[in-house]
């Protein structure tokens, strides 16, 4: 009875209106971070049309920032793709807990998988299960639009803002820290923080040039080990009972 009472069914109009409201906090982070990306890309010599293509087609804040030195250095496409894939490996784990929330319509389902960013994942996992499938499409779309608009503003402003405000790329890191704190405050789970800290310490002690890639790999391994251990522990408890 409690589960039925807490479930909410939105009309199509309510879904898009609620999705917009849920996207506003993300916009508060995307606007400065996206503007910073557009300014830094313009300073690096990337034309406005290419800045927009990166935000529309790639749409991955950390990977887009990482693309800038690669593009200016003329790195081969294959090397760029490998680096971007390593940065975005975490998205595999983002999709897993949201598979049941994905739309049934093929185009919408594909788009939601493409547009599943850190921020969208953070908002969706803080929602009740009954609301996730209803809001995943509008929330993904609005968050994507915020990033595109911010990139357009930053690319249009040009290098003037970059000279006035140095180290603009720090805006994305601030956004990640804020979202991580809000996610922890919502679900109160220490396990992701412990895994991330352990992975970073181990990776830092083993290498200096490949810390991010190695840390991501260690996180994946620890998460898989924990996932394998939990069912066995549950089975053991069941047999004891």
Q: What is the pLDDT of residues 205-241, one digit of tens each?
A: 988 877 877 887 888 788 778 777 765 555 555 455 5
Q: Both 125 and 232 in a single domain?
A: no
In a domain, 164, yes or no: yes
What is the average per-residue pLDDT within 120-140?
Answer: 90
Q: Is the pLDDT of residue 28 over 60?
A: yes
Report the pLDDT value the prediction gives residue 2, as an integer from 0 to 100. 44
Q: Both 81 and 148 in a single domain?
A: yes
Q: How far apart are CA 22 and CA 132, in angstroms?
A: 12
- Percent of the chain exceeding pLDDT 70 equals 80
Q: Both 137 and 168 in a single domain?
A: yes
In a domain, 235, yes or no: yes
Q: Both 178 and 223 in a single domain?
A: no
Q: Both 179 and 216 in a single domain?
A: no
**pLDDT band at residue 96 using 50, 70 and 90 as cut-offs:** confident
The pTM of this model reads: 0.70
**pLDDT band at residue 56 using 50, 70 and 90 as cut-offs:** very high
CB within 8 Å of 211: residues ≥ 6 apart: 200, 203, 204
Q: Both 205 and 128 in a single domain?
A: no
Please tell me which residue, 4 or 200, carries the higher pLDDT value: 200
Q: Is the pLDDT of residue 119 over 60?
A: yes
In a domain, 126, yes or no: yes
Q: Write down the mean pLDDT value for the chain.
A: 80
Range of the domain at 195: 189-241
Q: What is the pLDDT of residues 164-210, one digit of tens each?
A: 555 655 665 666 676 666 666 666 777 778 888 888 899 889 888 77
Separation in Å, CA 193 to CA 95, 117, 186, 188, 232: 19, 19, 14, 11, 23
In a domain, 54, yes or no: yes
Q: What is the pLDDT of residues 137-161, one digit of tens each?
A: 999 999 999 999 999 998 888 766 6
Q: Both 154 and 194 in a single domain?
A: no
Last-in-domain residue among 142, 165, 187: 187
Q: Both 119 and 234 in a single domain?
A: no
In a domain, 152, yes or no: yes
> What's the structural domain count of the chain?
2
Q: How far apart are CA 129 and CA 131, in angstroms?
A: 5
Q: Both 140 and 196 in a single domain?
A: no
Q: How far apart are CA 193 and CA 201, in angstroms?
A: 12
Report the pLDDT value the prediction gives residue 186, as an integer from 0 to 100. 62
């Amino acid at each position: 009875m409690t589960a039925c009472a807490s479930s909410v069914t939105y009309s199509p109009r309510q879904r898009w209106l609620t999705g917009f409201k849920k996207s506003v906090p993300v916009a508060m982070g995307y606007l400065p971070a996206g503007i910073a990306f557009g300014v830094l890309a313009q300073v690096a010599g990337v034309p406005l049309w290419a800045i927009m293509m990166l935000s529309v087609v790639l749409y991955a804040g950390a990977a887009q920032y990482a693309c800038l030195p690669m593009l200016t250095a003329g790195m081969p496409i294959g090397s760029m793709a490998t680096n971007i894939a390593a940065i975005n490996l975490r998205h595999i784990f983002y999709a897993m807990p949201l598979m049941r929330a994905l739309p049934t319509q093929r185009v919408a389902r594909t788009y939601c998988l493409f547009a599943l960013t850190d921020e969208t994942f953070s908002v969706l996992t803080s929602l009740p299960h009954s609301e996730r499938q209803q809001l995943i499409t509008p929330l993904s779309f609005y968050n994507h639009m915020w990033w595109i608009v911010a990139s357009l503003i930053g690319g249009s402003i040009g290098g003037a803002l970059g000279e006035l405000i140095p180290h603009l790329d720090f805006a994305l890191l601030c956004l990640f820290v804020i979202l991580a704190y809000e996610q922890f405050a919502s679900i109160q789970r220490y396990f992701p923080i412990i895994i991330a800290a352990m992975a970073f310490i181990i990776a830092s002690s083993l290498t200096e040039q490949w810390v991010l890639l190695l840390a991501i790999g260690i996180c994946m391994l620890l998460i898989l080990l924990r996932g394998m251990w939990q069912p066995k522990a549950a089975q053991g408890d069941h047999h004891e009972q």
